[in-house]
Structure 1
């Protein structure tokens, strides 16, 4: 009888530990799911940021081309004046 009581006590302890492990597993799965959602959000944010950076880079490139065009308009007449001493008939 004593051996049976020991065995029952051992099984009760094992069942309690098993319940604790199952609870920990549920918590771990929940955390995993939350982390996966966060990773998904971060991935979406990265895509959004990349699109924003690409748009900004395109805008910078456009502004650079505008600046180059304006500089060319200013530099060419000045070079023409320096070379010929003429302002294209404005003298």
Structure 2
């Protein structure tokens, strides 16, 4: 009996430390897995958002190109009207 108690005192602390290490490792592994899943979902959402922003930017670029073309046409018309008015003033 005394030998069993000596063995427990000598090696019991080691077993407790090993048990706590394994318990902590398993617990952290579960938390790490959950965190990685959450990060993956977040990355997918960010990817979708970036695609949406890209499409919006492309649409905005097209709109700005059309606006620039429209302004150039208006400038041409205004120049022509001014030219005609100047010619009428000369007469």
TM-score class, shorter: 0.7 to 0.9
**Inter-partner Cα distance in structure 1 for 2:30 and 2:78:** 71
* Structure-1 residue corresponding to 2:31: 20
- Which of 61, 78, 86 matches 1:50? 61
Please say if 1:41 is aligned against 2:52.
yes
CA distance in structure 1 between the partners assigned to 2:29 and 2:52 by the alignment? 34
Unmatched 5+ stretches in structure 2: 1-7
1:29 to 31, 34, 40: 40
Larger helix fraction of residues: 2
- TM-score where L is the length of structure 2: 0.79
Q: CA RMSD in A?
A: 1.4
Instruction: Determine the C-alpha separation between the residues in 2 that align with 1:32 and 1:16.
Output: 24
**For each residue in 1:17-44, what CA deviation from the matched residue of structure 2 results, as whole angstroms up to 9, or x when unmatched?**
0110111111111111111111111111
Question: How many pairs are equivalent?
Answer: 80
Q: Give the match for residue 18 of structure 2.
A: 7
Structure of higher RCO (CA pairs closer than 8 Å, 6+ residues apart):
1
Greater mean deviation of Cα atoms: 46-55 or 2-11: 2-11
Segments of 4+ in structure 1 off by > 2 A?
1-6
Gaps of 5+ in 1: 82-91
